[in-house]
Amino acid sequence: MSEPLEIACDESGAEGEKLVGGNSDVFAHASVLIDAAAAADCVRELRERAPTPANEYRAGHVLRDKYRPALLWLLGPHGPVLGNVRVFLTDKIFYVAGKVAELLDEDHTSRIGLDPRAWATATALYREGRPAFGPERWSAFLEAFNYLLRAKNGQGVTTSVEEAFRLVDELRGTGGAAGEIMESLWRARPRVESFRERLLADPYVFPALDPLIPAIVRAVRFWGAGGPVVVVHDRQTTLTDERIAQMREILGGRMAGLRLVDSMLDDRVQIADVMAGVARKIALDELNGRADPLLSVLIRPYVDAESIWAPPDEVMSR
């Protein structure tokens, strides 16, 4: 039996299950299939093209304007990692909209990532929610349901199902597609209450809302099409023994193991960090209307087609 593939992974924009009101609206996770020697050569070349005295090479070093030629070299058609890196992107706001859309299904069961059946409703809510409800009520809605759908919440957060549905009651009179979705959500209140009760009783019964979990699952499925995969990942507090066991069960043996390492000691993980950070910056600029056309084209071959991203988007499409 052949040895399992070993992929190195890192992320950018992680804030756990806090998807709304955080430091970044985009989460990116990169998985790298490359050997140690090739990774060392790549980091060495990056240090020559975009120098830094830092012991660990990070995305921020190559994203400086003065080092744009190095970034173009890294991402370009003759770059050192083309074909060996996959980046899974998550638009956090779209992810929340998708999880709300899942609750409308009478056969709703929590799952890793987004249920394909929820995609159309999520897209409609994502596109029309803000203009229909107004910025303040849209933000309040997202924050309320981010709270209800997450297993762990920060101190001082006390949103209840009752409070969230008072807002839904107000929004369902808005009209249009967004108002119709709120009407459906109003009728789905018993499912929301049941979900919340079970989540509080045992957070590990359900997959985490943290986008890191579906990103790792997708990386294993992508690289492990022909056999098992070992994941070497930068240290993450989210990756508890319980979560790792949960992913292994979901993947049915395709994940042979997950090992946490110090990224400073593994060049492969540093490349994953660079690619995740670069992709997140390009994607965030896309969302905010500041797209760099050249970088948007160059990042396309690296972006996973199953990223949690609202269609249609010419570069970061699902």
Task: Tell me, yes or no, whether 267 lies in a domain.
Answer: no
- Determine the angle formed by the axes of helices 92-102 and 135-149, rounding to 10 degrees: 70
**CB 205 within 8 Å of CB 199:** yes
**Measuring CA to CA, which residue among 74, 67, 168, 61 is closest to residue 125?**
168
Residues of the domain holding 140: 92-205
* Structure confidence by residue, pLDDT tens digits, 37-94: 999 999 999 999 999 999 999 999 999 999 999 999 999 999 999 999 999 999 999 9
Mean pLDDT value across the chain: 92
Task: Tell me, yes or no, whether 261 lies in a domain.
Answer: no
Mean pLDDT of 243-269: 93
The larger pLDDT score, comparing residue 156 to residue 132, is at 132
Task: Tell me, yes or no, whether 316 lies in a domain.
Answer: no
Task: Tell me, yes or no, whether 77 lies in a domain.
Answer: no
Task: Tell me, yes or no, whether 263 lies in a domain.
Answer: no
User: pLDDT value at position 200?
Assistant: 83
Task: Tell me, yes or no, whether 81 lies in a domain.
Answer: no
Task: Tell me, yes or no, whether 224 lies in a domain.
Answer: no
> Is pLDDT above 90 for 305?
yes
- What is each CA distance from 77 to 45, 137, 143, 243, 292, in whole angstroms? 16, 45, 41, 37, 17
| Percent of residues, the chain, with pLDDT higher than 90 | 79
pTM of the model: 0.93
* Structure confidence by residue, pLDDT tens digits, 224-236: 988 999 999 999 9
Beta bridge partners of 85: 32
**CB 71 within 8 Å of CB 63:** yes
Q: State how many domains the chain has.
A: 1
Beta-carbon contacts of residue 89 (< 8 Å; ≥ 6 apart): 26, 27, 28, 279, 280, 283, 303, 304, 307, 308, 309, 316
**CB 273 within 8 Å of CB 301:** no
User: pLDDT value at position 159?
Assistant: 78
Task: Tell me, yes or no, whether 96 lies in a domain.
Answer: yes
> Is pLDDT above 60 for 261?
yes
